[in-house]
Structure 1
Amino acid sequence: MKKLKKVLLVLAGLVLLIAIGLFLFVQSLKPDYSGKKTLPGLSNETTVFFDQYGIPHIYAENEADAFRALGYVHAQDRLWQMELIRRVAKGKLSEVFGSDLLETDKFFLSLGIDEHTAQTIAELDMESDMVKLSQAYLDGINTFVDNGPKPVEFYLTGLEKEHFSLEDIYNTVGYMAFTFAQAHKTDPLLTNIRNQLGEEYINDLAVYSDTSTVWIKNFREPGVDSISSTVTASVFRALDKLPIPQFEGSNSWVIAPEKTKNGKVILANDPHIGFAQPSVWYEAHLSTPTYEKYGYHLAGVPFPLLAHDRNLAYGLTMFQNDDLNFYGEVTHTSDSTKYKTEEGWLDYEYVTKEIKVKDAEPVSFTYKKTRHGPVLNGIAKQITGDGPIAMDWMYTKIRNEVMHALYGISHAADINGFEEALPKIHAPGLNVMYGDAKGNVAWWATAKLFQMPDSVSTKFVLNGASGEEEPIRYLDFSENPSAINPPWHYVYSANNQPDSIAGMLYPGYYLPENRAKRIVQLLDAKDDWDKESTAEMALDVTSSVNPDLITELIKLLDVSNLSEEQLIYVDSLKNWDGRYSLKSSNPTLFHRSTYHMLKNTLEDELGEEQFNQLLSTHLLKRQIAWGAKMKSGKWWDNVNTPDIVETRDDVVLKSFAEAWISLTNDFGPDPSQWTWDKVHTLEHPHPFGKVESLRKYFNVGPYPVNGSQEVINNLTFQYDSTGYYKVSSGPSTRRIVDFSDIENSISILPTGQSGNPFSKHYKDQAELYNDGGYRKMMMNRQEIETTAESVLKFAKK
């Protein structure tokens, strides 16, 4: 018995020692928000005050010191995120996650982002202020890489920390540019539909611009100048496996003094990005004697994409212009190394790449390039058949000055200096929103736009051999859509179609009018906007389109076929105000019915695979209301029932019945139990969250959330057969900048500032975000110092 007690005591001691060791190990992995550290290259002591949400307020004597400190604190909170995002363009995800990411790596390597980056860096002026500050930021990151603890993800994957370089900054921007593009999801699919079904079916899809919807209006003061299916399937597979978020859409509006209570500009912005953990933005406030910005930074990018100071504020939404085209090439019949052009035969260029794969041998692959870009045939089985398809992407075609643009807008002193930097943004296409303390409001659509020959649609695979479907010219920036101080006293963007300055439509993949219509409706109705009412508007969950659509479709229901309970519910739907609140059941039935209507309309012609592909496009979002209102058309008839010709009435009645049955099966016969909170949920996924045993430690959520797709509080999802709507993207931040009280402007992040799961700031904003709350973006130094949760001082080495 004594021996047993001794053994048990020894075992208990060992368990205690292991627990203590594990505790100390975890503590060593946490970000260090206090104390003193040396920072090589620093010229003066720099102080970082961390507020209660872990946001750094960096005070330095010069910009280089401030950006060096920013690099360090950014890395200690987000090094794993930085590591992943820099690997995408270089095809290095398989090195972390294994062969499952091979197709994704091959696809992104074929885009040529890494090659374009190398060319761009070779042409940089290394003595420019942009490069010097970027290098200072990188020095801060690399100091943490050398001296800071490895994030837990590095231990779990076996990765070692490595230095960051200018190459990584540009590759990150290139990844961002690609995720903004929509053509890769849409053009080959539409081409297949046209080839398989004919033009009549295409004409019944919302492919082209609808002049009856709400468009963004341009305004310039007179005399004022201003500076194929297999392709789609493979692209979806490659992007679906990405362990980092993609950019989706956005809202922004800037209200002029004439429409605000305090006579000062108010800017609102909520960029819509795929939800992930950590969330995409890292907030930081930098202050020096010559520079101050409160900004939002991408992982590994020094200059903020969203920011404000006491003089001006800016935000972004996606322009949604078409900057990526596909070309069908013609290979020589007797010499497969050549392809046809209008001036004769040219040689294919062959590119060979090698990909390192975790726990496996490296994989080598070769792809071809034409004058248009990479030929996708053979890249990870992307295209079958004989016809080569090349991808022509604006980002890699012309000189890259995007980083110079980000430096320029973040260092502009006024609207003129700000606008001067914008022509340097060639891709991705961005709606840049601006407001300042002097009362100016402005919107510019920034991108290198081009004009195509008449009657050529860039929504389909183009003829690469004839020379007749090439761009005629690039537009000057003065021809881009914009509005500066318009007489209606606000500017806005909701990724919808812009009006034309150049007397031509700008091809794009614009989202439907739903959010735009609601934004205009609310802004026009009120002339005394303040911070509180603007913040409330950003949380608006009322659809401006769906109630009218329901009213029209209900007219098609044969009431004699409906039960008494269904009739009561139909009356409820008639009176629905379009609000997506958690305890409402109308949204649940609406979206179940919408999915079944789409399925019953489109899937018989498209097949299951192409139907699911279409569900993932922006085109589908435009199609819902536009198509449902079409009284007759090719899509309504079910081709699988040749003896019956179905009509819109038949499809609507069938879809309503199927939705009712599916909801009864899921939640019981009482419609009051079919509430939105049971089907509309948000979870922020970490790459390791795919492992069920790690999910609760790395993922944040799930939570029931109000809102929906294409309302202002745009918490969007993809339709599928489950009838559950797992939110995939939404506001990556909600910012309200009020120039009447600049130091009390407000914001929120979806989860938290830190990407380190052991940090207290990993998810400390999640509950506030879900509840529609905000927190202050502090800029007053005295308040920052007196309320700081911790202080970190950097001394020169």
Structure 2
Amino acid sequence: MQAQCVHKSLRDRAVPRRQSILKRSLLVSLATVLAAAAAVWFGGPRWLDDSVMAYEGETGLPGLDASVEVLFDERGIPRVYAETDADAMRALGWLHAGERLLQLELIRRLARGELSALVGEGAVELDILHRSFGFARRVADEKPDLDAEAAGLIDAYVEGINRQIDAVDRLPPGLIMLGAEPEPWTREDVLTIAYYQTFYPTTLVRRLSRAWHAITLEYGQPAADWLSELPEWTRSTLPRQSITKASNTWVVAPEKSESGAAMHASDPHLEIDRAPGTWYAVGLHSKETFDALGVTTPGLPFITMGHNGQIAWAFTVAPVDVFELYRQPRDPEDPQRIGGPEGWQNLLVRSESIEIRGREKALEREFHYTPLGRVIDIEDDHVVTMRWAGFELPLANIVTSGLALNRADNFETFRRAATDMGALSVNWSYSDRDGNIGYVQSTPIPDRRHERFFTVLDATDPLNDWDGFHPPEELPWALNPEQGWLANSNNNAVGEDWPYPVPGFYKHLRMRRISDHLSSRDTFDRADMRRFQLDQRSDRALSWRDWLADVAEESGRSAIASELRQWDGVMRAESDMAGLFQLWWHYLARAVFEPNDGEPGASWREQRPLLDNWLHSAPEEAFPPDVDRDQAALKALEDALKIGIHPLGRIQTLSIRHPLADNALLDAWLDLSRGPVPRGGDAGSLNVSYVGFDPEAGSLQVGGAASMRFVMDWSDPDAFTLNLTFGQSGNPFSPHFDDFFDDFLTGDPWVVPWSRSAVEERIARQLVLRP
């Protein structure tokens, strides 16, 4: 019963999917919409055209040390040429506010837990969550001790944002419709966003961990062992310092490159069903020390992924477990005293007021903490506490290391910067113009005294505590492996002989496909890198296709079985067998896990991400009563056939929507949405598609995929290609709102050269910022 109670607490407090909450919460009130629409309607579209940022001519940016040139290509990617690093940061802030002001306002409020004040009831749950983690509160309380240079660059970036807000003639449509006027930005806003961003990659980890905990609670600790077992074909278990990793980023050494130089490919997987996308592409070129090109995160003053002419860097999520759940007893004589590794200590209480649009009174909430972390469940005799590595690491290093990363010029300087960014849990890939390739896992891995993972621990047992973190120099890394390439796919990065455990919620899909590609020939070129990124052959389909064919054959469906056996496992939008397999797979999760619904198991939707691991490793007795593997597979096939056999693209589609598109009037009037369009791929293909599933309609909605793609061949940095999913601007009246979308669908590359001379050959418009 205790386990059931704990699980119910965890499930009820499950972190909501950020995008779905934003979609719901950004349904503005009818009165607001009608008032704004009436004001705009009579002015016509030209009235809103004034909200589009200037792309040419001259404009003032007070505070600059000298004039700054901004050269835009045809897709609106700016190249900033400045005299000083501070001016480059001012220009970046000015551009972020000019193209992504609504996004900036949302991300600031999201990190601070103040979104409800703007959009109302739909964001309350998210605000409560982020207030409980205390991102803004910790920044305000600690006032991180930044070095003078980092503080100056952050302040310059903030200055650029505020100058754009002050100078704008017309706010973007989203802010007009919400009736919002942004407050001036501060250094603390940037630091809060940076802190929050180190937490955001753990969304995947926490989603998987809920399923992992649920299954462990139901079947005991052996279930965690089953789920952690590696399929026989995976290549992720390798000797120390001979690491092959994957998550759709890979690097190729000169000896395997037809150009004789290192090559680098990356396409990180994030949500892509909203506009604008996550990334804003830009080049920052200062006559001092800043000289980098790539993608930025609005709200942060550095290039997140890209290159600086000397090195290139990219990352994907490393699903390492940097959380711990503890059961802490309450003192019967004084329930405000909580037991832990240091004995009895006081339960800490913080009160917060959450303003909610449409309510007269703020919501008052109390949040509870122990020295181990955030309390997520309170019972009469105990509390359950969540410990997160990010609570215990310095805040100042996140931004200073991000700035240092942009200036790194070799593997060691890159490695030092990458492993000092707070609790950011990612796998970094590295390449440079001298032909080196490398990998670094930046996750701060707790130095645990125990090896009992994915369960709730007794906090009073000293053996369940952490001895800090493993030092950065002992984190997994690799440089110039003999095989001539490195790759990553959210799989376990280390072999069995690694000197300490690295528990995590690993996904081994796609690793075999990358391995096959990079081992298939002696040499490759940049066209091969792009071809691999667009590959829709599925590791999942190749693993389970024959089983599905056998089930079809045994149930008298020999024609279907024959087609499945002849199918190549490519998840083409035009393929009937791809459509059947994708439906079958998602119904299979329901057939396997739905009998476990209720206490203490999680819902089948929550457990769905673990289906591959479960089928590979769980013994027959782990299946629900009266449901063996083949029976589950047959039930799923019958459910899929009720929908019918259709091309994958008919049942699996992608729609990209602006946050205000949930209002049909605004969507139609301002043309805020694109799609639905057919979409191939699945979670097992390099050209990935992560989907939401509606079992009643038999439809799949793509929510996640490659959020950007880049390919670098160091023999010619001017041939560097960089593609976004949608567009540079978040303003639907901008010419750059969606001008990357067609290329995303077709996979056509967009060249973003490095040298000034090559940049000037591709200029579409030129802007000068004057002091």
The amino acid across from 1:595 in the alignment is H
2:632 to 646, 651, 657: 651
Inter-partner Cα distance in structure 2 for 1:726 and 1:17: 35
Distance 1:203 1:375 in 2: 24
1:524 aligns with 519
Q: How far did 1:188 drift?
A: 4.9
Which of 233, 254, 273 is equivalent to 2:251?
A: 254
Residues in 1 aligned to 2:132 and 2:404: alpha-carbon distance in whole angstroms:
31
Cα deviation, residue 611, structure 1: 4.8
The percent of aligned pairs where both chains have the same amino acid is 25
Tell me, yes or no, if structure 1 residue 341 matches structure 2 residue 340: yes
Counterpart of 1:329 in 2: which secondary structure? strand
- The match for 2:284 is 286
Q: Which moved more, 1:345-354 or 1:386-395?
A: 386-395
Which position in structure 2 is the counterpart of 1:355? 354
Change (3 A) 1:33 1:111: same
Listed one character per residue, the Cα deviations across residues 217-270 of structure 1 (whole Å, up to 9, x for unaligned) are 46649xxxxxxxxxxxxxxxxxxxxxxxxxxx9420010100000100110001
CA distance in 2 between counterparts of 1:659 and 1:385 reads 47
The verdict on how the C-alpha distance between 1:706 and 1:77 changes in structure 2, with shifts beyond 3 A counting, is: same
Secondary structure, counterpart of 1:776 in structure 2: coil
Partner of 1:8: none
The verdict on how the C-alpha distance between 1:488 and 1:250 changes in structure 2, with shifts beyond 3 A counting, is closer
Q: What's the secondary structure of 1:595's corresponding residue? A: helix
Task: Encode CA deviations 1:534-556: one digit per residue, 9 max, x unaligned.
Answer: 11111111113422322134334
Say if 1:201 and 1:634, in contact at 8 Å, map to a contact too: no
Q: Pick from 533, 539, 543 the counterpart of residue 534 of structure 2.
A: 539
- Asked if the contact 2:317/2:425 (under 8 Å) is kept, the reply is yes
> C-alpha separation between the residues in 2 aligned to 1:204 and 1:719?
28
1:487 aligns with 2:482: yes
Distance verdict in 2 for CA 1:633–1:48, change over 3 Å = same
- Mapped to 2, the partners of 1:33 and 1:108 lie a distance apart of 36
Determine if contact 1:250/1:731 at 8 Å carries over to the other structure.
no
1:486-505 Cα distance to aligned partner (Å, 9 max, x none): 11111111111111474233
Match of 1:27 in 2: 49
Q: Contact 2:553–2:561 at 8 Å: present in 1 too?
A: no
Whole-angstrom CA distance in 1 between matches of 2:710 and 2:211? 36
Equivalent AA in structure 2 for residue 315 of structure 1 = A
Q: Which range is displaced more, 161-170 or 650-659?
A: 650-659
SS in 2 for 1:555: helix
* Structure 1 residues 678 and 477: CA distance shift in structure 2, 3 A: same
Query: Is the Cα–Cα contact under 8 Å of residues 216 and 493 in structure 1 kept in the other structure?
Result: no
2:559 to 568, 571, 575: 568
Matched AA of 2:389: M
CA contact (8 A) 2:80 2:283 kept: yes
> Residue 343 of structure 2 aligns to which amino acid in structure 1?
G
Structure showing greater radius of gyration is 1
State the distance in 2 between where 1:683 and 1:537 align: 24
1:733 alignment counterpart: 708
Aligned equivalent of 1:762: 737
Distance in 1 (alpha carbons) for counterparts of 2:464 and 2:600:
30
SS of the residue 1:330 aligns to: strand
Work out the CA distance in 2 between the residues paired with 1:344 and 1:783: 65
**3-state SS of the aligned residue for 1:374?**
strand
Query: How far apart are residue 723 of structure 1 and its match?
Result: 2.2
Pick closer, same or farther for the CA change 1:616–1:20 going to 2, 3 Å: same
How many residue pairs align between the two structures? 722
- Corresponding position of 2:118: 96
Q: 1:191 Cα shift?
A: 4.0
- 1:179 matched residue in structure 2: 200
1:485-527 Cα deviation digits (max 9, x unpaired): 111111111111111474233011111x221111011001122
- The answer as to 2:712 corresponding to 1:714 is no
Q: Which among 696, 704, 722 is matched to residue 747 of structure 1? A: 722
CA distance in 2, matches of 1:409, 1:525: 33
Q: Are 1:444 and 1:482, in contact at CA under 8 Å, matched by a contact in 2?
A: yes
Q: Find out whether 1:685 has 2:657 as its counterpart.
A: yes
Q: 1:434 to 1:342 in 2, by over 3 A?
A: closer
1:375 counterpart residue number: 375
Q: Which amino acid aligns with 2:565?
A: K
Post-superposition offset of 1:465: 2.9
Which is further off, 461-470 or 343-352?
Answer: 461-470
Secondary structure at the counterpart of residue 509 of structure 1: coil
1:367 positional shift: 1.5
- Which residue identity does 2:464 align to in structure 1? E
CA distance in 2, matches of 1:334, 1:183: 38
List runs of 5+ in structure 1 lacking aligned partners: 1-15, 222-248, 378-382, 639-644, 664-670
How has the CA–CA distance of structure 1 residues 85 and 18 changed in structure 2, closer, same or farther, with 3 Å as cutoff?
closer
CA–CA separation in structure 2 for the residues paired with 1:629 and 1:554: 17
Report the CA distance between 1:192 and its aligned residue.
4.4
Please report how far the alpha carbon of residue 152 of structure 1 lies from its aligned counterpart in structure 2 after TM superposition: 1.4
C-alpha distance in 2 between matches for 1:118 and 1:124: 14
* Structure 2 equivalent of residue 405 of structure 1: 401
Q: Does the CA-based 8 Å contact 1:636-1:651 persist in structure 2?
A: no
Offset of residue 788 of structure 1: 1.8
* Alignment partner of 1:628 out of 582, 591, 615: 615
- Matches of 1:418 and 1:90 in 2, distance apart? 30
1:787 and 2:768 equivalent? no
Which of residues 158, 180, 186 in structure 2 aligns to 1:159?
180
2:214–2:601: 8 Å Cα contact kept in structure 1?
no
Q: Which amino acid aligns with 1:698?
A: L
Answering whether residue 24 of structure 2 is matched by residue 52 of structure 1, we say: no
Whether the aligned pair in 2 keeps the contact of 1:340 and 1:465 (CA below 8 Å) is yes
What SS does the aligned partner of 2:372 have? coil
Residue 414 of structure 2 is aligned to residue 427 of structure 1: no
Aligned to 2:676: 702
Q: Is the 8 A contact 2:545 2:565 kept in 1?
A: yes
1:19-56 Cα deviation digits (max 9, x unpaired): 77323311211111112112122111111111100111
8 Å CA contact 1:47, 1:60 repeated in 2:
yes
| Structure 2 length-normalised TM | 0.89
**Letter of the 2:276 counterpart:** P
What secondary structure, in the 3-state scheme, does the structure 2 residue paired with 1:756 have?
A: coil
Structure 1 CA distance, aligned partners of 2:434 and 2:96?
Answer: 33
Deviation, 1:199, is 2.1
Alignment correspondent of 2:314: 315
Deviation string, structure 1 residues 657-688 (Cα, Å, up to 9, x no partner): 2221232xxxxxxx4xx101101111123221
Instruction: Tell me by how many angstroms 1:704 deviates.
Output: 1.0
SS in 2 for 1:468: helix
The alpha-carbon deviation at position 303 of structure 1 amounts to 0.5
- 2:494 aligns to what? 499
Q: Is the 8 A contact 1:615 1:718 kept in 2?
A: no
**CA contact under 8 A between 1:451 and 1:473: conserved in structure 2?**
yes
3-state SS of 2:248 partner: strand
Change (3 A) 1:506 1:515: same
Q: Distance in 2 between matches of 1:368 and 1:649?
A: 47
Q: Distance in 2 between matches of 1:326 and 1:388?
A: 10
Amino acid at match of 1:303: F
The answer as to whether partners of 2:195 and 2:398 remain within 8 angstroms in 1 is no
More moved, 134-143 vs 691-700: 691-700
Whether the 8 Å CA contact 1:86–1:168 is kept in 2: the answer is yes
Mean alpha-carbon deviation: is it higher for 398-407 or for 262-271? 398-407
Superposition map of 1:456-467 within 5 A: 456-457=452-453, 459-467=454-462
Deviation at 1:169, TM superposition (A): 1.4
SS in 1 for 2:303: coil
Q: Cα distance, 1:212 vs. partner?
A: 6.0
Using the TM superposition, name which of 502-511 and 49-58 deviates more.
502-511
Q: Tell me which residue corresponds to 2:506.
A: 510
Q: Name the CA distance, whole Å, in 1 between partners of 2:748 and 2:600.
A: 40
**How many Å separate the matches in 1 of 2:534 and 2:622?**
36
Measured in 2, the distance between the counterparts of 1:299 and 1:570 equals 50
Residue aligned with 1:488, SS = coil
Q: Which consecutive residues of structure 2, in runs of 5 or more, have no partner in the other structure?
A: 1-37
Report the 3-state secondary structure (helix = DSSP H, G, I; strand = E; otherwise coil) of the residue aligned with 1:84: helix
Report the Cα distance in structure 1 between the residues aligned to 2:565 and 2:389, rounded to whole angstroms: 47
Assess, with a 3 A threshold, how the Cα gap between structure 1 residues 342 and 372 changes in structure 2: closer, same or farther: closer
In 2, distance between residues paired with 1:652 and 1:193?
20
CA distance in 2, matches of 1:272, 1:608: 33
CA–CA separation in structure 1 for the residues paired with 2:211 and 2:543: 30
